[in-house]
Structures are given as structure tokens and as C-alpha cells.
Structure 1
Amino acid sequence: MQRAESGSAVVELVMLGVLLLLPLVYLVFMLARVQAGAFTVSQAAREAGRAYVTSDVGEDALARARAAARISFLDQRFEDTGTLTIACDGSPCLRPDGRVETTATVRVPLPLVPAFLEDALPLSVPVSASQVSTVDRFRVLP
């Protein structure tokens, strides 16, 4: 006695396709978000360093650098997780040929991971970038 199995291959193909496609789609979303974080920190570090070393007054330099980094963080929606650190190689920071290192860091949250899994899985990926900017050699000190 033979059974009619017409259509069962289509059902199996659809089920396997969905089971294999869902993790692949999630991986693409996750990698796209991490790449956005990498673009953000690279731009934030570069622009913050540029804003810092082109400032006329030392007190304004920090505010200008933070504003430039904030614009970069807002651009890719990392305003809540983005941080900026600035380090100088001497004092004052804005002396001719002075070097200023800016480091931008974001924590990229993994999409669709519930908070109760925090103990078992990391819920975010840290991404950072550094930039060393040099103050103009012919800068006139105020």
C-alpha cells in the first residue's frame, strides 16, 4: 500500500528555509549595527580631535570636542552609549606641536536580546577608536 506524499517536500523546504534564514537575518542585523558603531567612533574621535586642536581658547576646546563627538554619536543613534576621553602629551594642551589623543567608545546593544539573559550573554559589544591630532606648529599662544 502506497501513501500519497504530495506536497510534503515543499513543507519541509519551507520549514528548513525559515529555520536557516532567521539566524542569518539576525546576524546581518547585528553586524550592520556593529559596523555603524565602528563608523561612529571613528568619526567621533577624528572630529573631536580636529575641533580640540583648532580651538582658540583652551577652555573652549573641551566643549567643542564634546559637541563634535556628540554630533557623531547622534548621527548613528548612539547618544546614550557614546563616551569621549581626551588626553594631552603635556601642559598646556594647545601649545605648538602638542599632541592630543581623543578616544571615542560606544557600546553597541545586540538587537532583540532580552534583558533577563544578561548573566548568560553579553548584551552589548564595545567598539572604540583613537585619533592623535597635532596642534599647529606655528600657533600663537594667547
Structure 2
Amino acid sequence: MRRESGSAVVEFVMLGVLLFLPLVYLVLALGRVQAGAFTVSQAAREAGRAYITTDAGEDPTGRARAAARISFLDQRFEDTGTLTIACDGSPCLRPDGRVETTATVLVPLPLVPAFLEDVLPLSIPVTASQVSTVDRFRVLP
């Protein structure tokens, strides 16, 4: 009869590593997706707020893009972050006008090599929208 002392430790370590590595990857990927969700939510909200509070003579689109850029830079999505602005009428900054800002980020999956692009998605798109209403008593420029 053979002695099997110590083999349970080896089996436990091997199974632990095999189960632990995918779990670590999942935590990394979900953490990055959550950072993207925070980024687009903040970018859409701040861009809408910056757009509707623009004073006469200022560029509302540039101000909104600058506010969104700060949010994208905060979580290191400056290369993949985009912002779109849509108004419900003309001019955009009329009293009770609605401005919709939509922020989108492509969150790259960690540790996925580029040659797998045809087989696996390399990024996950995350989008958030915000509808901001211009003040009812705003004076038109």
C-alpha cells in the first residue's frame, strides 16, 4: 500500500490556482467596466449641466465637451470617450428647452491580445444619457 501523504495539499493548490485565476480576471474586467459606467454617467451629467448654464457669448458645445473630457480623464478613458449633444428645438438654449447629452466609452478588456479580434470582442461599449432642461426664466442672448 502506497502512502499518499501530502497529495491533498498538491491537489488543493492546483485546483485553487485554476479556480483563482479566472476569478481574478473577472474582478479586473468587472472593475474596469464599472469604472466606465461611472465615467459615462458623470460625463453625461456634467456636460449637460455645463451646456445649459452657458452664459451669452460663450460656446456651449465647447464647454460641455470640456466638462466631459475631465470625466473621461478621471478614469483614463480619454482615448475612447465620446460625447454627443442633441437639442429638442432651435435655439438650444431657449427657455424650457431640453438638451440630451450622451456619453459613450469603449472599455477595453484587460489582457486580451489584439490577434483575437476576429474571435472575441476587445472592448465593451458603455453608454449613459442625460436630459437637461434650460431654466424657464433664462434670458435669450
TM-score w.r.t. the length of structure 1 is 0.97
Q: How many correspondences in the alignment? A: 141
> In structure 2, what residue type is equivalent to 1:22?
L
1:118-133 map, 5 Å: 118-133=117-132
Which segment drifts farther, 104-113 or 56-65?
56-65
Match of 1:84 in 2: 83
Q: In the aligned structure 1, how far is the partner of 2:140 from the partner of 2:55?
A: 9
> Take 2:115 and 2:6, find their aligned partners in 1: how far apart are those partners?
41
The answer to whether the Cα contact below 8 Å between 1:44 and 1:73 also exists between their aligned partners in 2 is yes
Aligned to 2:41: 42
- Please report how far the alpha carbon of residue 129 of structure 1 lies from its aligned counterpart in structure 2 after TM superposition: 0.2
Letter in 1 for 2:92: C
Q: How far apart, in 1, do the equivalents of 2:131 and 2:11 lie?
A: 56
**Counterpart of 1:110 in structure 2: which amino acid?**
L
User: Where do 5+ consecutive residues of structure 1 fail to align?
Assistant: none
Q: Determine the structure 1 residue equivalent to 2:112.
A: 113
Amino acid at match of 1:71: I
CA RMSD of aligned residues (A): 0.9
TM-score by length of 2: 0.98
- Deviation readout 1:83-125 (Å, 9 max, x if unpaired): 0000000000001111000000000000000000000000000
